[in-house]
Each structure stands twice: as structure tokens, then as C-alpha cells.
Amino acid sequence: MRTILILLVLMLMTHGIYADDLRFETTEKGIVDALTVTQPDEKIKTRALNKSSFPKMRSIRVVCTEDGETIKKTIEVPANSSGNGINLRIEFDSDSSIIRPGSFHLLNELGRALQRDVFKGKAIIIRGHTDSDGDLAYNLQLSLQRAEAVKAYLTSNFFISPSIIQEFGYGEAMPLVPNTSAENKQINRRVEIAMK
């Protein structure tokens, strides 16, 4: 029994699949619940933590659109985190920003969730991600195009104003799993949603 358990753990580690990292929301209720989790007051949190409790940070390059212009900037993110939003398994083909039709149901769940009263007056952030195929600059641009494709779907099919959505391209900088297989690469080609 112990040998089987060890083999199972080794198989999961080899493929880079870790259950904690693979949480994808799939329903309107799940999306609303995940986006409305109350965070502790930052002042209390800061006072309670000592210096060694702060997460290690790293810098990554992202692209976004501001005033109709695409700009690149460097931001700080926690070193051991895949982001502070919710992950959605909105699928794209390799080297494409065209949303696969199988993802339309999930986008409809997202659109209904974002129209809830609890989100009135809040800004929506859409972060596009890629796998590691292609060079860094290309992947940054492709990930932004994926975020823009999701924005276009939401604003075309739901009463969501384009002015409250900001899109970012994170490229390949924040994979959920190692890019070691076609299955893992598909997982990393995803969209993340956060509220501001």
C-alpha cells in the first residue's frame, strides 16, 4: 500500500499537477463566492505580521492597454503564487486568442456573475496567460489578446460596460503547472479574473 501511495505521489509530481494550484471556478455561484471573499483589514494584518511573515516577491513584465495604447510595465507579485484572482478554464488553441466554443458556457456563467449587485461600481480585471511555447515578448502580446477576447465576449453578450474592465497580459510568467506536457500547457493557457 505504501509503495502504491509513493508511486502515485511521484506520478503527480512528475506531471506537475498539484491539487491546490488547479482550482478553477465553473459556476456563477462559485465565481461570485470566490470574488467576494472578505479579506482581513490590511492595517490589522500588517500589525500582526512580523517582517519574516511577508511573502517573498518577484518582478514580472506585463502588458496592458491604457488610453488606447499598449504599454509594458513591471509589477511585483508573490513568488509562490499564481495570482490573487480566480482562475477560469477558458481554453484557447496554442498560438491563438480565439476562444474555443466549449468555453462559452463558462463565459456565460462569468457574465451572469459579474452582473450581480455585489459587483456594482467595481472594476473588473482580466488577466490572460500563455504556456511557455514562443518567445517572451510574443507571449505577452498573445496573453493580452486572450484577455481582450474575453472582454469582447462579456461586453457583447452581457450588460457590462467596457469602461470598467481592464485587461492585462501576463504571458508565461505565472504558470499553474510546469509546461512539461500538452495537457499542462492547456491548463496554463487560461484567464484569471479579479475585482478592484
Q: What is the mean pLDDT of the chain?
A: 82
For residue 112, CA distances in Å to 23, 35, 46 come to 20, 13, 35
Q: Is 112 helix (H, G, I), strand (E, B) or coil?
A: helix
- For 147-170, what is each residue's pLDDT tens digit? 999 999 999 999 999 999 999 999
pTM comes to: 0.79
Q: For residue 82, what pLDDT is reported?
A: 56
State which residues of the chain have pLDDT below 50.
3-21, 39-48
- Closest CA relative to residue 71, chosen from 172, 191, 168: 168
Q: For residue 66, what pLDDT is reported?
A: 84
User: How far, in Å, CA of 169 to CA of 180, rounded?
Assistant: 22
Domains with residue ranges and CATH for the chain: 20-195 (3.30.1330.60)
Question: What is Dmax (Cα atoms) for the chain?
Answer: 60
For residue 8, CA distances in Å to 3, 5, 184 come to 9, 5, 18
Percent of the chain whose pLDDT exceeds 90: 56
Q: Which residues touch 176 (CB under 8 Å, ≥6 apart)?
A: 21, 22, 82, 87, 187, 188, 190
Q: For residue 41, what pLDDT is reported?
A: 43
Kindly give the residue spans of alpha helices, DSSP state H, lying in the chain. Answer: 2-15, 28-35, 42-48, 104-114, 136-157, 182-188
Q: For residue 93, what pLDDT is reported?
A: 78
Q: For residue 77, what pLDDT is reported?
A: 84
